A and B are shown apart, each in its own frame.
Chain A
């Protein structure tokens, strides 16, 4: 799978290992979650209604279309959250503890 984003500079930053839907993804320190996921892949989540992939839009915290989750169900806005080592992201809503 090719990523949507292409890095054009600042590539010498330390690597950070995160997990996306169970797969290892290498991000760079200072990446937002959106950047890390779109350098590695081509979507962030699926729209709730048409189930089609979405990859964010505004990148400035306005459109709210870049939501992802941590494996324990914590919701994050990918464009305004930085990656941290060991972050485990999923791109579909996490089942409830009490379904």
Chain B
């Protein structure tokens, strides 16, 4: 069509996907002087970025992810100066609780292993844990406390980054779906649902669960499975639980977690994940999963039993088979970058991913080790 041959915009980088990764990248790329066009199919932060639990947690992460996570944590603490709002970030700590000896051993080992990465955890016996956090069940066997972690409001984070990016001069277009991407000798040419074409020498793909198709089109298919972690929230009750509390079990159904927002509601999630309809852009929320969470929540927090659940939701997240994200440069296409597949643990990383991707986009390098997250790791394995 002749209309679509008009170029609607040209920039140093086009970012496809306005989740927290894309929005934060847009912001930090502007800080480094790049011109940016951010294209979001629906609304910024509407899917995984806006529906996740809101964990700003480092402990428990894959060790090689900690440099990135540490960088992100430092940025979380500076959000007011960076983007003008705190998105309800509360650095009240993160507690992982175990009820079984074997789980306790894992927690203790992790606390040792993460030290060289600059993550200092405090290990409490069950009794110490209950002294420190009296709302916990007296059956707690051991707790690992990460005092500088915390939680934030996921509904606010990505939109706040996008607004800050826009104020800093980025072009942020919502309800603008990328329909086609082609590459000529110099530039990526991105055609959108509005019949517009955008052109840039660099392109970042941060479209979350929908990234597989895009990567595959560039010859970099990978196993990426969408799943829907399920959350719920109670009615508001007096604010008394400050840190995030998670049940550190290696049994999927037991792995519930909770946080209380300052207004009083207790947000919780975990356990069995629901399925996703990517075409319909819908997580198939199963309220039975909420029922399944209840006994584990009560085991963690006995007084939970007296509360009422007022809302449930699920978000669409994507998981790789090694539980690590895809982040960094394409191994095949110059100028192409990826940041997706954060396996249900991306929210905390958001600001750090944005800053690190901006480094890459602006300078071609970053001090954060990204090798474990390269998409090249899937090239050797046959993709199912």
Contacts and interface: CB of A to CB of B under 8 A. Distances in A.
Interface string A66-78: 0100000111000
A93 interface: yes
A49 B263 contact: yes
A98 B306 contact: no
Interface size on A, as a range, is: 10 to 19
Interface in A60-99: 67, 73-75, 93-94, 96-99
Interface in A10-54: 48-49
Contacts of B302: 97-98
B134 A98 contact: yes
Contacts of A48: 236-237, 263-264
A48 B308 CA distance: 15
A70 to B, nearest CB: 10
Given A48-B264, A49-B263, A75-B308, A98 B303 contact: yes
Interface string B187-208: 0000000000000000000000
A97 B303 contact: yes
Contacts of A75: 306-308
Contact of B135 (A74, A93, A96): A96
Residue from A74, A75, A96, A97 whose CB has the most chain B CB atoms within 10 Å: A96
B297 interface: no
B238 interface: yes
A96 B301 CA distance: 10
Interface in B314-350: none
B292 interface: no
A99 B263 contact: no
A13 to B, nearest CB: 31
A99 B308 CA distance: 18
Main secondary structure of the interface of B (DSSP, over half): loop
A75 B234 CA distance: 13
A93 B136 contact: no
B240 interface: yes
A96 B308 contact: no
A75 B235 CA distance: 11
A98 B264 contact: no
A61 to B, nearest CB: 13
A96 B239 CA distance: 12
B237 A98 contact: no
B374 to A, nearest CB: 46
Interface in B111-135: 134-135
A96 B263 contact: no
Nearest to B263: A49
A28 to B, nearest CB: 28
A74 B307 CA distance: 8
B134 A93 contact: no
A98 B135 contact: yes
A18 B137 CA distance: 33
Nearest to B136: A98
A79 to B, nearest CB: 15
A65 to B, nearest CB: 11
A93 B235 CA distance: 12
Contacts of A98: 134-138, 301-303
A74 B365 CA distance: 58
Given A49-B263, A75-B306, A96 B240 contact: yes
Interface string B291-314: 000000000011100111000000
A96 B303 CA distance: 6
B354 to A, nearest CB: 33
Nearest to B303: A96
A75 B236 CA distance: 13
Contact of A99 (B235, B236, B240): B240
Contacts of A94: 306
Interface of A: 48-49, 67, 73-75, 93-94, 96-99
Closest 8 CB pairs between A and B? A96-B303, A48-B236, A73-B306, A98-B135, A98-B134, A98-B303, A48-B264, A98-B302
Interface of B: 134-138, 235-238, 240, 263-264, 301-303, 306-308
